[in-house]
Amino acid sequence: MMNLTQQKNSVSLQNLYDFKCKENGSPHFWTPQELDAHEYTFGGDFGISETISRVLSLADVLEVEVGAYIGEFIRKLDEKTTDGIVGKLLKAFIKDEAVHAHQIKYALQTYPVSDWHRNEAALINEEWKSAGGHPLQKSSTLEVGVFLGCSLPILLRLGGHSLLWVSEMIAKDEFLHVAGGRGILNKLNYGAVDNLIRLQRKTVAYITEKLNIPSQHFGFEVNTDWFLQQSNELIVSGSSAPLTRWTDISIYRAKFENSNKFMY
Q: How confident is the model at residue 77 (pLDDT cuts 50, 70, 90)?
A: confident
> Any idea which of 148-152, 173-177, 242-246, 249-253 has the lowest mean pLDDT?
249-253
Q: What does the pLDDT look like over 200-247, one tens digit per residue?
A: 999 999 999 999 999 999 999 999 999 999 999 999 888 899 999 999
Average pLDDT over residues 73-90: 85
The better pLDDT of the pair 186, 127 is held by 127
pLDDT at 10 (0 to 100): 55
Its CATH class, for the domain covering 36-248, is mainly alpha
Q: What is the mean pLDDT of residues 171-183?
A: 93
Q: What is the DSSP letter of 30?
A: P
Q: What is the pLDDT of residue 80?
A: 72
> Contact at 8 Å (CB) between 101 and 67?
yes
| SS3 of residue 25 by DSSP | coil
Ranked by mean pLDDT, which of 12-21, 57-66, 245-254 comes out on top? 57-66
Q: Please write the tens of the pLDDT for every residue from 107-165.
A: 999 999 999 999 999 999 999 999 989 999 999 999 999 999 999 999 999 999 999 99
Q: Across residues 57-68, what is the average pLDDT?
A: 97
DSSP string, 185-237: HHHTT----HHHHHHHHHHHHHHTTT-EE-HHHHSS-EEHHHHHHHHHHHHHH
Altogether, the residues listed in the chain come to a count of 264
Residue 92 contacts residue 27 (beta carbons within 8 Å): yes
C-alpha dihedral (22, 23, 26, 28), degrees to nearest 10: -10
Confidence at residue 251, expressed as pLDDT on a 0 to 100 scale? 40
Q: SS3 for 27?
A: strand
Contact 174, 148 (CB under 8 A): yes
* pTM confidence score: 0.89
Domain boundaries, the chain: 36-248
**HSE (side-chain half, CA atoms, 13 Å) at 205:** 7
Distance, in Å, from the CA atom of 53 to the CA atom of 58, rounded to the nearest integer, reads: 8
Q: What is the pLDDT of residue 249?
A: 56
Q: Tell how strand 222-223 and strand 212-213 pair up.
A: antiparallel
| CA dist list (Å): 239 to 3, 5, 110, 222 | 9, 13, 32, 18
Mean pLDDT of the chain: 89
Q: Given this model, what pLDDT does residue 82 score?
A: 74
**pLDDT score of 257 more than 50:** no
Q: For residues 196 and 135, is the Cβ–Cβ distance under 8 A?
A: no
